[in-house]
Amino acid sequence: MSDQTCPVAAPQGAALQNPAPNFRIIAMIIASAMFMEQLDATVLATALPTMARDFGVSAPAMSIALTSYLLSLAIFIPASGRVADRFGSRTVFRTAIGVFIFGSILCAWAPNLTFLVFARLVQGLGGAMMMPVGRLVLMRSVERKNLVAAMSWLLVPALIGPILGPPVGGMIVTYLDWRWIFYINVPIGLLGFILVSLFIEEFKGEPAGPFDWIGLCLSGISLGSLLFGFEMSSRSGEAVLAVSLIGVGLIFGAAYLRHARKHPSPILDFSLMRIPSFNASVVAGSLTRITQGAQPFLLPLMLQLGFNLSAASAGGIVVATALGSMTMKAVAPRILRQFGFRNSLIINGVISTCLYALCAAFRPDWPLPVIFVILYFCGFFMSFQFTAYNTVAYDEIGRERMSSATSFYTTFQQLMLSLGICVGALALHGAMTASNHDVPQLADFSVAFLVVTAISLTATIWNMRFDSAAGADISGHQARKQS
């Protein structure tokens, strides 16, 4: 989007003068919708073998049920901001919930794999709009002084969804029918639909130019190929296909960048990267998400294969990170008010990454309560890091570019989480190959944890590039210093 003045400023100001609804209500409404999407994305993986038997196909063939969802995300996330500007953020967010519910029902009714793939594409369309537009609703509905607290509430489902997914999926497959994986989305979604209608204000933006259809196609092919390539690289025997897809993604990505320089309102506005706080948050947050993406893949696998724990027992341990994430939301505003964004991101970034690196030392003779406590603090510090990144990123973003920024940020968020799984899997396979192991051993998991955390630790370089006054009016740090 361009820097033209957006007429949303007037109604937004009016909304902010109205103290009701409380920002926590808005954040939790959006968080509930996102939790539904995050939980669904991970719980399905556990049920794939059972679904394969029902459909009469091989388990590997079921991977298309995951990749079809990624395809919808790749195509439609970049367009979400422009759609929200055109039809209104509340309307689009509410519609996205409805589409996701409809897609979930179709998935539950699927008689075969072909129908399931179509249903997952529909579901992905809803999910693609829920993530960035939900964040956009929050940014436009909450006063800046409450933004840190609201964002900390919003990020809880993004962190606990991938952790709770496998044990929840295991329980559903074991005690119910796999179709309930999709049916549980219906009551959550309907409640969210009603609450959005009651509590969320409508905001529209002025289109900055013609819709970028060519950019949508180029970015969709690029992002879809990259996401598929990253996802395929985490599987054995798919190296050639993975490299080919990543190559296609890079080629079309380069074509998009060339196209975007000429279009007046590109679907992904890379000129946003000229804004210092946004640039640093995107780059540092992307590097940190390597660890966050790899952790739900590596940790449960290590506990089950290396510690010989059941899926339910492993899930009971990794839930510690979810508890840590939820605890963080109460203290994040106070920490940022005391130390500011820059200092907090530098210090907390090192602590959170090193704590996850400590997972490399886990062994079966460690007391499980000790592992639980370490994972609790992993969740606490990493959740704080993403709360800070996702808030300070919009410090210098004008209201007229907010929708474009949320689409851009969410696109890279999804891409880097997928890359984290890829890097974790490649590091694990590399360690297995070097040690001549057919089945991953504890030492192989240790190498994988150290590799992904070493990459994330480089985010410190970009954290140091934040201005000391970055986000001061959001955190209240500057006002405290001057008083």
- In order of their start, the domains of the chain are 1-212+263-267 (1.20.1250.20), 271-483 (1.20.1250.20)
Cβ–Cβ < 8 Å for 35, 161: yes
pTM of the model: 0.77
Candidates 379, 344, 345, 339; CA nearest to 359 is 379
Cβ–Cβ < 8 Å for 8, 204: yes
Tokens of 175: 């005690």
Predicted local distance difference test score (pLDDT) of residue 453: 93
Predicted local distance difference test score (pLDDT) of residue 10: 36
CA 80 to chain centre: 15
Distance between CA atoms of residues 120 and 51, nearest Å: 14
The 10s digit of each residue's pLDDT in 106-150 is: 998 988 888 988 898 899 888 888 878 877 777 777 777 777 777
Cβ–Cβ < 8 Å for 407, 436: no
Look up tokens 């929840």; give the residue: 168
Predicted local distance difference test score (pLDDT) of residue 454: 93
Look up tokens 């380069």; give the residue: 254
State residue 382 phi and psi, 5-degree precision: -70, -35
In three-state form (DSSP H/G/I as H, E/B as E, the rest C), the secondary structure along the chain is CCCCCCCCHHHHHHHHHCCCCCHHHHHHHHHHHHHHHHHHHHHHHHHHHHHHHHHCCCCHHHHHHHHHHHHHHHHHCCCHHHHHHHHCHHHHHHHHHHHHHHHHHHHHHCCCHHHHHHHHHHHHHHHHHHHHHHHHHHHHHCCHHHHHHHHHHHHHHHHHHHHHHHHHHHHHHHHCCCCHHHHCHHHHHHHHHHHHHHHCCCCCCCCCCCCCHHHHHHHHHHHHHHHHHHHHHCCCCCHHHHHHHHHHHHHHHHHHHHHHCCCCCCCCCHHHHHCHHHHHHHHHHHHHHHHHHHHHHHHHHHHHHCCCCCHHHHHHHHHHHHHHHHHHCCCHHHHHHHHHHHHHHHHHHHHHHHHHHHHHHCCCCCCHHHHHHHHHHHHHHHHHHHHHHHHHCCCCCCHHHHHHHHHHHHHHHHHHHHHHHHHHHHHHHHHHHHHCCCCCCHHHHHHHHHHHHHHHHCHHHHHCCCCCCCCHHHHCHHHHHHC
Distance between CA atoms of residues 213 and 26, nearest Å: 32
CB-neighbour burial class of residue 390 (10 A; exposed 0-12, middle 13-18, buried 19+): buried
Residue ranges for the chain with pLDDT beneath 50: 1-20, 479-483
Which residues, 6 or more positions from 439, have their beta carbon under 8 angstroms from its beta carbon?
Answer: 305, 432
Q: How many CB atoms lie within 10 A of CB 271?
A: 15
Predicted local distance difference test score (pLDDT) of residue 20: 45
Candidates 96, 149, 179; CA nearest to 410 is 96
